[in-house]
Amino acid sequence: MDSFEKMKLCAGFASDMKAQNMVVLDVKEQSAFTSYFIICSGASTRQVQAVAENVELMMKKAGFRARGSEGMKNGRWILLDYDDVIMHVFHEEERAFYDLENLWQHCPRIAFDDVPVSEKNKR
């Protein structure tokens, strides 16, 4: 599976748990460590945790284990590292404060309000 397909898989699993305001940044031209950042939000710490837990569980079922994860316990900013795809699940307040989209504004963006139904059916 290539990086783009892996990114769509992660985004779909986050979307399944109603992740909000999902944005994908194509950082491969600017980064030596990954190809895509997926950035999304939750309205509460519990929703942030639920999104990240679902992504972790479903990616594991699909054969991908996170190289690392940070922030699961407090649920304010959870990072899941899948090598060529890094997912950031933020509480709304932390997302506004850290503003990763602005820090990486020179990178192409792919908006994911929802993954097409056909992608969800592939699982």
76 lies in some domain: yes
30 lies in some domain: yes
Tell me how many domains the chain contains.
Answer: 1
123 lies in some domain: no
pLDDT digits (tens, 9 = 90+) for 85-116: 999 999 999 999 999 999 999 999 986 654 44
Backbone phi, then psi, for 16, in 5-degree steps? -55, -30
Q: What is the pLDDT of residue 8?
A: 93
Between helices 45-61 and 3-16, what is the axis angle to 10°? 130
pLDDT digits (tens, 9 = 90+) for 12-59: 999 999 999 999 999 998 888 999 999 999 999 999 999 999 999 999
Domain around 52: 3-110
117 lies in some domain: no
DSSP character for 76? S
Q: What is the pLDDT of residue 60?
A: 96
Instruction: Give 24-66 as a DSSP string.
Output: EEE-TTT-SS-SEEEEEEESSHHHHHHHHHHHHHHHHHTT---
120 lies in some domain: no
* pLDDT mean across residues, the chain: 89
pLDDT-based confidence at residue 119 (cuts at 50, 70, 90): very low
31 lies in some domain: yes
